[in-house]
Amino acid sequence: MNQSNNGLFHELKRKVQGWDRKIVFPEALDARVLVAAGRLASEEVLTPVLIGDMNEIQNKAKEHKISLDRMEIYDPKNYIEIDQMIAAFVERRKGKATEEDAKKLLQDENYFGTMLVYMGKADGLVSGAAHSTADTVRPALQIIKMKPGLSKTSGVFVMVRDDEKYVFADCAINIAPNSQDLAEIAVESAKTAKMFDVDPRVALLSFSTKGSAVSDETKKVEEALRLAKEMDPALVIDGEIQFDAAIVPSVSNKKAPDSPLQGDATVFVFPSLEAGNIGYKIAQRLGGFEAVGPILQGLNSPVNDLSRGCSEEDVYNLALVTAIQSMEKN
């Protein structure tokens, strides 16, 4: 990890300490997760909430010389409030799950951990070291659900290089977002930017700048601009706009002289997942940026997904991000 990224997470850690955030780790028997949780607890950054069999977790902790002090451990098979959790789950699913369904599903660590967040016993959840994205996100969408007024979650990357920080969205979730989706992504990405001390100046990207080409694709972005302005009239945003016109002042002056961005955009909303995924990887591999994420946004409480190839450091850092997101609710 480069020095700039270290600086970013040092700042997140400073913000989180003292807020007594509780973050759930459903994959407590994964060594990477357990070691990261041990660091977070020993440094008193936050309280890890581990899910699993108490004896197995204790044995794994002993094997890796990790103290379980300052952690909470819940075993779905021996949870004292399981009846209340089952009732809350059935009520939340509104006829889509019976008590029998709930009993079975709540033995799954991700569903159980997500219910702890929903019931206010924890502030957020980090999973995915040993589960697929679907296994992590599905319980969140069913139980925690979207913030009022939003229809879909989206995935952003914070791109970091030395003192530069940008937000790229959506690079992880929505394959073909429509105008409403793009507007929601823009507004939520601006909020995410603020968490990382990035002043949000949002560019709705396209292959066209302010009508230089006209197609269904450009009209979609143009409509997204209108909707985003309705959702947040104070937002500094423009589109449709090409990447160079969004980030190079001299190009902006030629192509979009009246743009509020003036070639100084910090948040980039891509018109499709295809473009977003390719874009962030080009910045990462050719531009020397580090990609922090994907960070999921739009949920009532934060749930974030690790890569199955993640490191202990990735777990530690994503827990910090999740804690920061949970603080935005207060």
Query: DSSP labels for 270-318?
Result: -SSHHHHHHHHHHHHHTS--EEEEEEEESBSS-EEE--TT--HHHHHHH
Record the pTM.
0.88
Is residue 3 predicted with pLDDT exceeding 70?
A: no
Residue 307: what pLDDT?
81
State what percent of residues in the chain have pLDDT above 70. Answer: 98
Q: What is the per-residue pLDDT across 43-86, written as a single tens digit (0 to 9) for each?
A: 999 999 999 999 999 999 999 999 999 999 999 999 999 999 99
**Which letter does DSSP use for residue 64 in this model?**
T
CA distances from residue 205 to 146, 186, 220, 317 in whole angstroms, order as listed: 25, 11, 11, 29
Mean pLDDT to the nearest integer, 151-166: 93
- Model confidence pLDDT, tens digit, residues 88-141: 999 999 988 899 999 999 999 999 999 999 999 999 999 988 888 888 889 999
Determine contact, residues 61/53, Cβ cutoff 8 Å: no
What per-residue confidence (pLDDT) applies to 293?
Answer: 84
Q: Are 302 and 326 in contact (CB under 8 A)?
A: yes
At residue 77's C-alpha, the angle toward residues 75 and 81, to 5°, is: 75
Confidence of residue 1 (pLDDT cuts 50, 70, 90): very low
Residue 204: phi and psi, rounded to 5, are: -90, 105
Structure confidence at residue 284 (pLDDT): 93
267 vs 166: CA distance, rounded Å: 6
Q: Is the pLDDT of residue 304 over 90?
A: yes
Q: Is the pLDDT of residue 330 over 70?
A: no
pLDDT, average across residues 241-252: 97
Residues 6+ apart with CB under 8 A from 179: 220, 221, 223, 224, 227
pLDDT digits (tens, 9 = 90+) for 195-228: 999 999 999 999 999 989 999 999 999 999 999 9
329 pLDDT band, cuts 50/70/90, is: low
Question: What average pLDDT is seen over the chain?
Answer: 93
User: In Å, how far from its chain's centre is CA 197?
Assistant: 16
Mean pLDDT computed over 275-283: 96
What pLDDT sits at residue 133?
83
